[in-house]
Amino acid sequence: MALNIFWTGNAKRQLKNIFEYYKENASLELASKLTKSLVKRTLLLKAHPEIGVSEPLLKSYKIIYWVNKKKSRIDISDVFDARQNPIKLKK
């Protein structure tokens, strides 16, 4: 059974921040391509919620999630830029 994907407010904000950063510092096209790629990768979790670490696919970003069995969904709680200090992730 495939689970639904739920983006928390924090995860949505992080995705928006990534988009805005690349829009301002690179291009609208790159910002759009990168954020769409991040969202697309989360869709793999629907059928394979225990897929685990997929860092090689995303290289610079970690998608932090957990399987919310009570609500039959995957909760995306954060999108973390892996080039940052990992201490920031403890928020």
The pLDDT tens digits for 32-54 are: 999 999 999 999 898 888 876 55
Spatial separation of the C-alpha atoms in residues 64 and 50, rounded to whole Å: 12
Q: Where are the domains of the chain?
A: 4-80
Q: ∠ CA 66-68-73 to the nearest 5 degrees?
A: 100
The pLDDT tens digits for 59-88 are: 688 899 999 999 999 999 999 887 755 555
In this prediction the pTM is 0.79
Q: Could you tell me where the DSSP H helices lie in the chain?
A: 9-25, 28-47, 55-58
What phi and psi values does residue 80 have, to the nearest 5 degrees? -110, 130
- In the block, tokens 């096209």 appear at 29
What phi and psi values does residue 13 have, to the nearest 5 degrees? -60, -45
Which tops the pLDDT comparison, 47 or 7?
7
CATH architecture of residue range(s) 4-80: 2-Layer Sandwich (3.30)
pLDDT above 70 (res 4): yes
